[in-house]
Amino acid sequence: MDFNDPKFKEIFFAIHSDMPREGPGNEASLLRALSFMKELAQDPCILDIGCGPGTQTVDLAQHTRGVVLGLDNHAPFIQDLDQKIAAHNLGHRMLALVGDMTNLPFRDRSFDCIWSEGAAYLMGFENALKNWKSLIKPGGYLTVTEAVWLKTGAPEPVRKLWEEYPDLKDIEANVEIIKSCGYKLVEHFTLPVEAWWENYYTPQEERHKVLRSKYAGDPEALKIIEVSQMEIDIYRDYSDYYGYEFFICRVQ
Ligand SMILES: C[S@@+](CC[C@H](N)C(=O)[O-])C[C@H]1O[C@@H](n2cnc3c(N)ncnc32)[C@H](O)[C@@H]1O
């Protein structure tokens, strides 16, 4: 699939607009990750990079007492987050920013925590860890999710799905990267299967249904929808082979 193809782009955004999340994750897992951050400042300044429509960004603000900034390079997602901020009356301690994770406009040591769910891979996990580190205060946290192999011997459909991200590694290899980038690994855990369905694949499947009837006479569009559905079907069948790992790391 070619992202520069206008038809692909149209259907991609028809699937991915106005969704609660753009990657696996849920509030219970966010709370679990926060529970390991025992020395987080009382009123922390947190940057959520690649925040998408911002469901977890708002969760972060609701479960901490400081300031939370959500940053994404897709302006419509930032508008979604802005609406959520207004709906939850969190404007006094939240900010939604359009920005590029590869060129962040902040001074060194600005944040008590950089948070990023399912987005670091876009600039390469290791590259992201190296680049973002100077923005975190000493003793601050980097809390990220990254896709990982959970076991070896993945069958053909799974290997084909992940061909687009040949950098996929197992948990131990990611732990080594974290350490080699100078972070202390505090804890890590695998996102539970329900974190993939709750706010991500279940609403996407609902959207596929709507779009299949909307684009019933458009074979090209239907094919794109089926490729998106295939990704979900592969997860349904093979979720024990791959997943997302939450890594809670600390700058020493
Ligand atoms: C897989 S989604 C995850 C979204 C959100 N964290 C979640 O878990 O629902 C990755 C996000 O990264 C954003 N993104 C991609 N490239 C980016 C960049 N260079 N700078 C900032 N955000 C970027 C995308 O727009 C998308 O919202």
The per-residue pLDDT for 110 is: 98
Tokens of 180: 């080699």
Q: Residue 214 C-alpha to ligand 1 middle, in angstroms?
A: 27
When pLDDT is averaged across residues 104-127 and rounded to a whole number, the result is: 97
Residues 83-89 have a mean pLDDT of 98
**Whose Cα sits closest to atom 27 in ligand 1?**
52
pLDDT at 167: 85
Nearest protein Cα to ligand 1, atom 2: 22
Q: How far is the CA of 91 from the centre of ligand 1 (A)?
A: 22
Pocket test for ligand 1, best of 12, 49, 102, 122 (most atoms within 8 A of CB): 122
For the chain, domain boundaries: 6-149+167-197+234-251
Contact 120, 217 (CB under 8 A): no
Nearest CA owner, ligand 1 atom 17: 73
CATH of 6-149+167-197+234-251, one of 3.40.50.150, 1.20.1440.230, 1.10.287.3510, 3.40.50.970: 3.40.50.150
Q: What is the reported pLDDT for 4?
A: 85
- C-beta atoms surrounding 236 within 10 Å: 13
pTM over 0.75: yes
Residue 38, Cβ density class (10 Å: 0-12 exposed, 13-18 middle, ≥19 buried): exposed
Question: Which of residues 74 and 167 earns the better pLDDT score?
Answer: 74
Q: Phi, psi at residue 180, to the nearest 5°? A: -70, -20
Atom number in ligand 1 closest to CA 200: 9
**Ligand 1 atom closest to Cα of 116?**
6
Question: What is the DSSP-derived secondary structure letter of residue 24?
Answer: S
Give the chain's mean pLDDT.
97
Q: What percent of the chain has pLDDT over 70?
A: 100
Residues in the chain: 252
The pLDDT-based confidence of 30 (bands split at 50, 70, 90) is: very high
CB within 8 Å of 241: residues ≥ 6 apart:
149, 150, 151, 153, 154, 155, 158
| Cβ atoms of residues 206 and 9 within 8 Å | no
pLDDT above 80 (res 1) = no
Say yes or no to pLDDT of 164 above 90: no
pLDDT-derived band at 3, boundaries 50, 70, 90: confident
pLDDT (tens digit per residue) in 39-67: 999 999 999 999 999 999 999 999 999 99
Cα distance between residue 229 and residue 240, in whole Å = 19
pLDDT at 131 over 80: yes
CA of 52 to the centre of ligand 1 (A): 5
Residue 76 banded pLDDT, cuts 50, 70, 90: very high
Question: What is the average per-residue pLDDT within 216-242?
Answer: 97
pLDDT at 38: 98
pLDDT digits (tens, 9 = 90+) for 178-210: 999 999 999 999 999 999 999 999 999 999 999
Q: How confident is the model at residue 171 (pLDDT cuts 50, 70, 90)?
A: very high
